[in-house]
Amino acid sequence: MLIDDIKKYNIILASQSPRRVELMHGLGLNFTQVKLSDVDESYPDDLHKNEIPVHVAQKKSDSYTKKFNDNDILITVDTIVWCNGEMFGKPKDKNDAFRMLKAISNNTHEVLTGVCLRSATKTREFVVTSTVHFKSLTTDEIDFYIDNYQPYDKAGAYGIQEWIGFIGLTKIEGSYFNVMGLPTQNLYQELENFISDNE
């Protein structure tokens, strides 16, 4: 399938993340960006870590109430950080951000992104995991990053493409773009499969 085949569809990205918008543009796709109403991002306690971002992505998809045309494809996404057996979402305040960054310091964590594709007739979900290794971060480095980059809209309290990633990242196993919030290669492949199944 050629990218021109995907471009025949009206792709709707339901995300306010500037990083996801940038990555969608990087895929060369035409899309419309929409803002969802506030979505309850809670989840059942018994969910496995892989199920959490998919569950929330599905809830975001369900909150989209506009009528679907035959060629519409809605994309909703959720990203979490999993460290030391705990789920890290977006930090509530500076103390919470510091706690998260201290936990990933000199440690390995996972970044999991759940994606939901939805059309008028079907839905498909998938999750992508990347393993991230960080060096030991000093208190001054963590404070500097929080004060200057205000990472309160980011799961795990950091953006890999920002200063903290430049000085702290030692290795990634898996997709770098997934750590940014959108597994671009997987999304492109899943869109191809999703469209092929429609035709």
Confidence of residue 2 (pLDDT cuts 50, 70, 90): low
Domain CATH number, residue 151: 3.90.950.10
Q: Which domain holds residue 155?
A: 3-198
Give 125-145 pLDDT, tens digit per residue: 999 999 999 999 999 999 999
Please state, in angstroms and rounded to a whole number, the distance separating the CA atoms of residues 183 and 192: 14
Give 46-71 pLDDT, tens digit per residue: 899 999 999 999 999 999 988 999 89
User: What pLDDT score does 58 carry?
Assistant: 95
Q: What is the per-residue DSSP string for 9-28?
A: SEEEEE---HHHHHHHHHTT
Which of 130, 107, 128, 143 has its CA nearest to residue 176?
130
Question: How many separate domains does the chain show?
Answer: 1
Residues with catalytic roles: 78
- CA Rg value for the chain: 17
Q: Are 154 and 100 in contact (CB under 8 A)?
A: no
Please state, in angstroms and rounded to a whole number, the distance separating the CA atoms of residues 136 and 151: 19
Please state, in angstroms and rounded to a whole number, the distance separating the CA atoms of residues 104 and 60: 28
Q: Are 26 and 184 in contact (CB under 8 A)?
A: yes
Global pTM value:
0.92
Q: What is the per-residue DSSP string for 161-183?
A: TSHHHHHHEEEEES-HHHHHT--
User: What pLDDT score does 65 carry?
Assistant: 86
CB neighbourhood size of 5 (10 A): 13
Report the percentage of the chain scoring pLDDT > 70.
98
